[in-house]
Structure 1
Amino acid sequence: MQDELTQQVCAWLEGQQQAMQDCLEALVNIDSNSYDKAGTDAVADQITQWLEQDGITIIRHQRPESGDILEAQLGGTGQGHVLLMGHRDTVFPTGTVASRGYTQQDNVGFGPGVADMKSGLVMNCFVLRALSRLPNCPLPVRALFTADEEIGSPDGRAFIEATAQGARAVLNVEPGRVSGNVVTGRKGGAGFLINVTGKAAHSGVSHADGASAIETLARKIIKLHALTDYEAGITTNVGTITGGVSRNTVAPFASAQLDTRFVTTAQRDQLYKAIEAIIAESDVPDTLATIEQTSEFYPLEARMSSALFELYQVQAKAIGFAVDGEFTGGCSDAGWTASLGIPTLCGLGPVGAKMHTDEEYCLLDTLVPRTQALASTLLNLHDVSFASAR
């Protein structure tokens, strides 16, 4: 049985299907690659316009190079707030919209970032708009619209962690799984750049005088890949390699990019130590390897989402749909907040699939019910004890 405030919010959202689709079309038709500051800022401009029309407080944190950080506030700024999260950037290069902007076929919306995660941004906007129509918002709500999640949140992470301090819960609107599930667990991951220097020599005349950086790299790749443990959920993958100057020269340099995934922070720490040990080993005399971390996401461990998920399930059932939790190997900003000990639930956005491809799509009939479930969860957080998650 829904309380009066929840009923009021859900009733208003029930009539917003077309408005949400129109907003989704507007956002999808703005190129917003992670490195396109003008594009991600244009998305921020549009969101600001929508929210300010309803009197919602907007703070814009100007950033010199990356997209500005947009923060919305509702119901005061006290501790125990709820944090809504979403990212404005996509993986698609600037110019994509000109060749394939937003299109719709019956219940399916297509376009760059339509699921990941322009539809989630629309959801957060409409949750805020719905709450702003209440006589008094029953608890402080803050929403972050960041601009660099697809490249590891190098600029956004600090704002996420700062805004999450003191939060009661974090709700992240990454796309719902194609199964209709939300995300209760995510792997963490990190990227590394490995550089190896060696000594050049003619491969026929003076081979013994050289020291092959490629050979050292090859030996290390075998050891790095051996760290993969499917049962534990740990994977290591060298996805690119380069090096050498010619076929008949002992390679004086080589480099590779390494991707790692892990399920827990304890695994992360153990994996990093193992990688450092491999890089430090002397595989070929007169060669030297170094490693630089280029990106990182922390994992969303299931224990950090369990209580929130149980509440979400109840609210979804009251609205009229069933939902389960799901684990995924993909990373998200939810890992940053979960690692701070704050209950976090992810994958709350509309249902979509084929993210990061030309066939990416969003199921439009999930816009309203998923937004209602998100708003209902937020309004009923007082019913949940998070002691076990901390």
Structure 2
Amino acid sequence: MTELPADVLADIHELVSCESPSDDLAAVARSADVVARVGTRRLGCEPERIVLEGRTHLRWRLGEGPPRVLVLGHHDTVWPLGSLATHPSTVVDGVLRGPGSVDMKAGLVVAFAAVAALEDPAGVTVLVTGDEELGSPSSRTLIEDEARGCAAALVLEAAADGGALKTTRKGVSLYRVAVTGRAAHAGLAPADGVNAGVELAHQVLALTALGDPDLGTTVTPTASAAGTVTNTVPAQAWVAVDVRVPDAAEQDRVDAAVRALRPVLPGARVEVTGGPNRPPMEAAAALLDRARAVARGLGLPELRGASVGGASDGNFTAGVGVPTLDGLGAVGGGAHADDEHVLVAELAPRLALLTALLADLLADVADEPAGPADGGRR
């Protein structure tokens, strides 16, 4: 197996050492500058900077022909500014740590190094977005447009347990259910009010009942609030709802049911906002088989596929019909948590796998005509 280039760890340290919480536009812009610098060193050319709704995304389109393989990642993280003070970027006993290390700055460096190792990277697009942790509100259309016409999308999110590739992801819908009641004095005239908190409780129970454990559908009320002061019947209440579904039919079923919610208490009103955020990512069996063949050719352990509940931008690429493999990034664990880490020994095999898979895909599509979706993209 090829040794890990020494500067890979230095590049990861450089990215991790620039904090990039998604909700801080200035921090994301600073991070984009660092990612652009690292990527330019590797790829030999500057990216296009695409600023949408104040968020900075980076795109490298390599070669003169149409894009044929999309390499996709993000540089924003969930960690707030100041996290490096308590979670510094370190490598100890073969474990690399730091905020955003496994999700997914190490994956970005693996992507840059793999594309740079190709004899001819023409046809590869590397897209690094800056709002994935928020649900990609500004970058979704960009991602979908870059994916259309490609033979494959390779997503550099962290691997699943044991280094497995992520072959299916649940679809995600996000809602806010707001209740309006009528305020009244809680001691003098509670019956004169319409208790928005009680109505919200009815709605939470109705929402929870929409889940289907047998199918893997979860409907989870999360953040909520009701009322203002302790001696007043609450006139307002709300709850956020996180929905995860295995397929499009379930996403449609739950969406219709949530929008059909009606108040239980006389005089209460219920308003539903939000909806589907990411479509389900369905398995691309042929692409997984291809990756397995490449891994065997490299002498790597047999690749496994895994189905996961979390969503990524791979949901969008799969949603427009592009075969997608996710989890090609770092092997480690603890994403979003205090123990976030990368296993350094797994970086070289991951880099070799991605490089060989890219070369194999590019060789296969080199003589194919561009699809109709390519028209007008340049």
- Do Structure 1 and Structure 2 share a fold, with TM-score over 0.5? yes
Deviation of the 1:178 alpha carbon: 2.8
Question: What is the match of residue 372 of structure 2?
Answer: none
The 5 Å alignment of 1:146-295 reads 146-278=129-261, 281-293=262-274
Question: What is the match of residue 130 of structure 1?
Answer: 117
Find 2:8's aligned residue among 9, 13, 20: 20
Letter in 1 for 2:83: T
Distance 2:234 2:38 in 1: 57
Do 1:152 and 1:295's aligned partners in 2 also have CA atoms closer than 8 Å? no
Greater mean alpha carbon deviation, residues 234-243 or residues 44-53:
44-53
Work out whether 1:44 is the aligned partner of 2:32. Answer: yes
Distance 1:314 1:126 in 2: 21
RMSD, matched Cα: 1.9
Find 1:339's aligned residue among 300, 304, 319: 319
Deviation of the 1:77 alpha carbon: 4.0
Find 1:312's aligned residue among 281, 291, 298: 291
Work out whether 1:56 is the aligned partner of 2:49. Answer: no
Query: Residues 234 and 180 of structure 1: is their aligned pair in 2 closer, same or farther, counting only changes over 3 Å?
Result: same
Deviation of the 1:143 alpha carbon: 0.8
Find 2:282's aligned residue among 298, 301, 306: 301
What is the SS of the residue equivalent to 1:62? strand
Do 2:219 and 2:242's aligned partners in 1 also have CA atoms closer than 8 Å? yes
Do 1:57 and 1:74's aligned partners in 2 also have CA atoms closer than 8 Å? no
Question: What is the match of residue 90 of structure 1?
Answer: 77
Do 1:176 and 1:348's aligned partners in 2 also have CA atoms closer than 8 Å? yes
Do 1:56 and 1:73's aligned partners in 2 also have CA atoms closer than 8 Å? no
Question: What is the match of residue 22 of structure 2?
Answer: 34
Query: Residues 87 and 294 of structure 1: is their aligned pair in 2 closer, same or farther, counting only changes over 3 Å?
Result: farther
Distance 1:309 1:287 in 2: 51
TM-score, with length taken from structure 2: 0.91
Deviation of the 1:293 alpha carbon: 1.3
The 5 Å alignment of 1:338-377 reads 338-377=318-357
For these two proteins, the number of residue pairs brought into alignment is: 363
Do 1:120 and 1:349's aligned partners in 2 also have CA atoms closer than 8 Å? yes
Deviation of the 1:212 alpha carbon: 1.1
Letter in 2 for 1:140: G
Q: Percent identity?
A: 34
Distance 1:228 1:50 in 2: 44
What is the SS of the residue equivalent to 2:58? strand
Greater mean alpha carbon deviation, residues 48-57 or residues 286-295:
48-57
Question: What is the match of residue 373 of structure 2?
Answer: none
Find 2:94's aligned residue among 107, 111, 136: 107
Letter in 1 for 2:49: R
Distance 1:86 1:77 in 2: 22
Do 1:17 and 1:367's aligned partners in 2 also have CA atoms closer than 8 Å? no
Distance 1:335 1:300 in 2: 5
Distance 1:188 1:77 in 2: 33
What is the SS of the residue equivalent to 2:161? coil
Greater mean alpha carbon deviation, residues 141-150 or residues 95-104:
95-104
What is the SS of the residue equivalent to 2:167? strand
Letter in 1 for 2:12: L
Deviation of the 1:311 alpha carbon: 0.6
Do 1:24 and 1:122's aligned partners in 2 also have CA atoms closer than 8 Å? yes
Query: Residues 108 and 311 of structure 1: is their aligned pair in 2 closer, same or farther, counting only changes over 3 Å?
Result: same
Do 1:164 and 1:170's aligned partners in 2 also have CA atoms closer than 8 Å? yes
Do 1:211 and 1:286's aligned partners in 2 also have CA atoms closer than 8 Å? yes
Do 2:35 and 2:75's aligned partners in 1 also have CA atoms closer than 8 Å? no
Do 1:197 and 1:213's aligned partners in 2 also have CA atoms closer than 8 Å? yes
Question: What is the match of residue 324 of structure 1?
Answer: 304
Deviation of the 1:39 alpha carbon: 2.5
Deviation of the 1:100 alpha carbon: 2.1
Q: Which consecutive aligned stretches of 4+ in structure 1 deviate over 6 angstroms post-superposition?
A: none
Query: Residues 222 and 51 of structure 1: is their aligned pair in 2 closer, same or farther, counting only changes over 3 Å?
Result: closer
